Structure 1
């Protein structure tokens, strides 16, 4: 896409003012890093707090009659079991059991609040409109900004500026006033750290971002560190680690299928997914630790000791907190046990690696 056709977020001018290196991502002009660099931004988020602009994500409000039951016809998560003020990760699936997108759903008293991926949001909206009953109202809120405040000091910042937000536990949500600005806040994120995602009206986004960046613990973080943080945390990136060719069971996302949904089904691809849940799959998403310092990137072919192809890497890079390369990908289930020796073909050269447990760095969510 040309610079003229790229979409921008409400914080575009602020990114430029802060020295952000702007790149195209999911049709938007976004900062990949700031002058401090990806390594410094990553480590700062792990040690203190980082502020991410994730306004390219899609925000959707669903309301109306039996809205939770209606959404359950499209996802395997237990949405009807969500109490007001609670959030859940789930997946849109297709009739073949493939993943159309992954999303977050938060229940409020009179509506469900959805956050979907940037690259999928247009088709997600079409999917919802095509399949939800007439009694459910869909409101697209793409004009709102979305900020993520992540890291162990995020709670201290929120405690000063929005104490109601700091009182939330992991996967909780509430309307919160932050420095005089009303926001929708969830205690969640995409880094493996404690933190918050903050939805705010676009005309108040820059003021809120500046307020957060004025706090001594906080620095701006770009897409580069966002990717390395989520990779260390073992979190999937849609279009890379999961897509329409992967099922939730292959992706090791069994935990996202609710107990009642396992018994009742009633979501797209349920027969295939529940059969895999019972009988297993031929391949599985695993963590991979290369031996040595060379990162193993996406699409790197994996083989067994005899040189037989067994899968490929879907995400890979250097893990600043780990101090070495980390990756994830799909391998034959027979070779998916932690510690299994495998080989990666990096530019045609076989390099040793082994299957590793994920996350590569411990999750530090605040569960209360």
Structure 2
């Protein structure tokens, strides 16, 4: 493996981590949105607050990690994407900011009206953020980001591949969140609530699965390079995503929530990995490869050292944080 590919692989690990951990975080907002009225949805919204409260900001570590590696290791391609896709990136950033602020402000609302307003902003931004991030991925995968950064500000991301990318991102986030929330509810003894979430998660999973495979039709015409990759080297990952998705559906149906979390993660990771492997070796599809887009050798070497330090200094505290939240030990203090 070349130095350039090693750095790109390290960056893509961050993409996977953000898709899984940040995805489950964003998806919780979808369930907050469909929870129902203030009274009927109170139990589910309380579960959402309890489940994501300790970790919601920690998930954005992976987004920062990806962006730092991208702009330092592959600066020209980062500049091109930032220029052409400035609108969806700004919308996604706005969603992240509004989501975090409204999630915090809702806890301190003095009136029911304020709580409803902040709750709606939280839920809506939880949907628009992954949608626009998925649209960005679709724009890159369909070869609409020229290296010169002169791509059209609208058609670059308003197209079939970006639309399906955004919808699939929203669906996978919601599916992940539903699986995790059902497991959290069951673990805390809220079996009725777990059952309600289970039904909704099954519905979301079915729709998302249909979207994933329906997307293969327009992608074949709209993003031929990606389509060829998905039909070739990434085909095993597409099959694995289907198997893991079906396994998760079965496990949810039989109320085996704890195991379903792992197969749900595998399904989402396989979908995202299929995209990455499908467009390899391109960084910006049909424009520049990973090797050609890479920066100076010294910079890439320094990035790998930084990644190694991150593994040692950042990953263990994150693992401990998630262990605390899963064991409920954090609620004892």
**Normalising to structure 1: TM-score of the pair?**
0.25
Hey, which of these two has a bigger chunk of helix by percent?
2
Higher relative contact order (CA 8 A, sep 6+): 2
Hey, which of these two has a bigger chunk of strand by percent?
1
**Normalising to structure 2: TM-score of the pair?**
0.27
